[in-house]
Amino acid sequence: MLLVLALVKGAMLTGRIQKGGKNPFMLHGRAGIFLFAILLGTFFYGLWIRLLHDEPLLRSVHGWLGLVIVTIAALQVLPSVTAKERTKLRPMHRLLGYSLAPLIVIEAVWGLYMGVTDGGKSLVLVHSLSGGLAVLCLTWIAVEMLYLKGEGIARARIASYLASFFLIAGCWIAGGYNYRTAYGAEVRPVILAGPTPWAHIIVMEAKEHIFVFLPIIAIALSITLATLDGEALLKNPKSRRALAVVAFLALFIVLITFLMGAIISNAGKAGLEV
């Protein structure tokens, strides 16, 4: 939420999207500082946990990516707080700010993947990363629609194509292949024999079928954005809110299936420990 708030208020300040709410400058700054504090805290917490388990530091992609993110976040916040003349810093601040969003999503998904699967299942990682990046794209579409300005329609179209790609290639095809091969042969029997068989019978069965709705919604959103008259959309706030509703709907389903995925992976892990 802090990441989205910092990005949205930053985009309002640069005039990329319409201004909304009071004092975007103050909110952008505060969201950035709080986000930096959380990133720094979670990074050192991760290091502390590694030390507690006598594990080497910074030996994983998750660890190194965390360091990169904290460094970028520091480069975003510290000069903004200390420097008096910030005009020259703005292009770099903007570039680093936008690059932080996918990096944080990838880092969060990677951490969750390591936490619930113990690593080693690259297809599950691709599946989860695609879901995380789709969340980012769908949020991007919703923000563009709620605060649309001239060039925003082109950006929303790109975001919708990316969302459709991640949902179809990464989630549907890669996830479906994993479900048919590794999951069916290795994970499913373990869950059914473990302490939480409902994780397969209810959660996995519901997840795999509810997911089928998502590519349909994403493609419908993409085609609608691609075929809509941009000028007419700019003048019609009701239609823009309607498209935001569709983006939020897809976002909600991705997040629910994400939660279901975590429950299933956790059940697989619990089954192996029995």
**264 part of the interface to another protein, by CB under 8 A:** no
Among 52, 227, 273, 274, binds another protein (CB under 8 A): 227
Report if residue 193 touches another protein, rule: CB under 8 A.
no
Q: Does 169 bind another protein (CB under 8 A)?
A: no
**Closer of 60 and 224 to another protein (Cβ):** 224
Residue 235 makes contact with another protein by CB under 8 A:
no
**Residue 55 carries which DSSP code?**
P
Q: Which of 227, 242, 246 is nearest to 153 (CA)?
A: 227
Binds another protein by CB under 8 A, chosen from 51, 242, 255, 272: 242
199, 264 contact by CB (below 8 A): yes
Residue 1, SS3 per DSSP: coil
Q: What is the dihedral of CA 83, 88, 90, 92, to 10 degrees?
A: -100
Residue among 7, 174, 221, 254 that touches another protein (CB under 8 A): 221
CB neighbours of residue 236 within 10 Å:
14
Among 25, 181, 241, 259, binds another protein (CB under 8 A): 241
Here the tokens at position 85 are: 């003349």
What Cα–Cα distance (Å) separates residue 264 from each residue in 62, 85, 182, 254, 267?
Answer: 22, 51, 14, 15, 5
Among positions 26, 92, 95, 210, the unique one binding another protein when judged by CB under 8 A: 210
Non-local (6+) Cβ contacts of 95 within 8 A are none
Exactly one of 209, 235, 273, 274 binds another protein (CB under 8 A); which one? 209
Contacts with another protein by CB under 8 A lie at 172, 176, 179-180, 198, 201-202, 205-206, 208-210, 212-213, 215-217, 219-221, 223-224, 227-229, 232, 238-239, 241-243, 245-246, 249, 253, 256
